[in-house]
Structure 1
Amino acid sequence: EQTSNYIRINTNSTPFGTVEVEATTCCGTEHLVITQNFSQGGACSYFSVYPNPATTEFKIEFEETFDLKTVDETTSLEIYDSGFSKKYKAEKIEKQLKVPTADWKRGIYYIVLTHKGQKYYEKVTVEK
């Protein structure tokens, strides 16, 4: 008796996107569409997000591995909704940022840090 199935996805250089899955069992067919962010955790993680899920605000805190002295005019931190519309852009990159979400809709949001030609991603869920 098989009780689970596994799918492996190689995202290459794009750590987020849409995955569509169609599963057929003896009970019928289910079609599922997932928008997922595959975080670059571990040594590549420059920031953390909490609380996650958030309600009225969340904080972005940069790890010790991220040298704030290396921030320049090309460094940016932006947040996009699931439709990839920009919801927030940090005016200044600091050790800790507070992001207000009281007027945001419930859903998943993608945090994109661009630094030294690389992009780093994280996701946060906003609940109401």
Structure 2
Amino acid sequence: MTMSKLNRIAFIALILTAAAASQALAHAHLKTSSPAEKASVVSPGELDLTFTEELNLKFSGVKVTDPDKKEITLGDAALKDDDKVLAVPISGTLAPGNYTVDWHVLSTDGHKTSGIYTFTVKP
């Protein structure tokens, strides 16, 4: 193999690696949440999930379940702070116990991500 052909192969490999890395970085990853993961809090009035990318509200959502796996009633989600924060009102007061937040989002560039975390409402 000639050196120029080897250089071309190395260059193509570098381009493909960079493209794959940029795609991985384009996903909307959960940066912070309120209540935070594994936090012990008084009953929150709202969930605020902050992501690394702008979100598409139409294809993003949250489900919260109580200690008995019963779904909690939530208000209509909205976007805040440059469309990177998914704000979801919680209807009513949560009883003490462990709650699970199951979220899914679609970033404006078309990438889907999802996750689950828990928090505790203290007595």
2:119 counterpart residue number: 124
Normalising by structure 2, report the TM-score. 0.51
Work out the number of aligned pairs and report it. 84
Distance in 2 between residues matched to 1:71 and 1:47, nearest whole Å:
18
Distance in 2 between residues matched to 1:90 and 1:102, nearest whole Å:
10
1:62 counterpart residue number: 49
2:69 counterpart residue number: 84
> What amino acid is aligned across from residue 105 of structure 1 in structure 2?
A
Shift in alpha-carbon separation, 1:62–1:98, aligned structure 2, 3 A? closer
Shift in alpha-carbon separation, 1:120–1:84, aligned structure 2, 3 A? same
Q: Which has the higher contact order (CA 8 A, sep 6+)?
A: 2
Distance in 2 between residues matched to 1:105 and 1:64, nearest whole Å:
28
Question: Is the helix fraction higher in 1 or 2?
Answer: 2
Normalising by structure 1, report the TM-score. 0.49
Distance in 2 between residues matched to 1:83 and 1:118, nearest whole Å:
26
Larger radius of gyration: 2
In structure 2, the gaps of 5 or more residues are 1-27, 80-84, 107-111
- Alignment map for 1:103-118 (pairs within 5 Å): 103-116=93-106, 118=113
Which of 51, 57, 61 is residue 71 of structure 1 equivalent to? 57
- Alignment map for 1:17-28 (pairs within 5 Å): none
Question: Is the strand fraction higher in 1 or 2?
Answer: 1
Task: Summarize deviations over 1:83-125 as a string: whole Å, max 9, x none.
Answer: 2211133412323636558632211101111224542112110
> What amino acid is aligned across from residue 62 of structure 1 in structure 2?
L
> What amino acid is aligned across from residue 47 of structure 2 in structure 1?
I
